[in-house]
């Protein structure tokens, strides 16, 4: 959805959404800290590849990441409706 907002705005994100982009997408720079999308992928593949049920730490981390994601999605949705 961010990509479509960027394309519809001449390559720029609407005001206030650059922070959402920066928080969700890891920049293509060496040794940059993984942002939300990469953290979710890492957690997903660790849970998927495990032989056991996810432990409490993995479940707690998922809740944290999901809360962060919901905040970004709400900001994106409200910007798309403006």
pLDDT one-digit tens code per residue, 14-51: 777 888 889 999 999 999 999 999 999 999 999 999 89
How many whole angstroms separate alpha carbon 77 and alpha carbon 79? 5
Sign of CA dihedral 27, 28, 30, 36: positive
Backbone angles phi, psi at 11, to 5 degrees: 90, -5
The distance from CA 65 to its chain's CA centroid, rounded to whole angstroms, is 8
> What pLDDT, on a 0 to 100 scale, did the predictor assign at position 48?
92
Average model confidence (pLDDT) across the chain: 89
């Amino acid at each position: 959805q961010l990509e479509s907002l960027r394309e519809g705005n001449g390559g720029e994100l609407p005001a206030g959404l650059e922070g959402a982009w920066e928080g969700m997408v890891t920049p293509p720079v060496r040794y940059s800290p993984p942002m939300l999308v990469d953290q979710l992928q890492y957690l997903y593949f660790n849970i998927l590849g495990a032989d056991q049920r996810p432990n409490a730490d993995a479940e707690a981390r998922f809740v944290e990441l999901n809360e962060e994601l919901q905040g970004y999605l709400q900001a994106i949705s409200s910007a798309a409706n403006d």
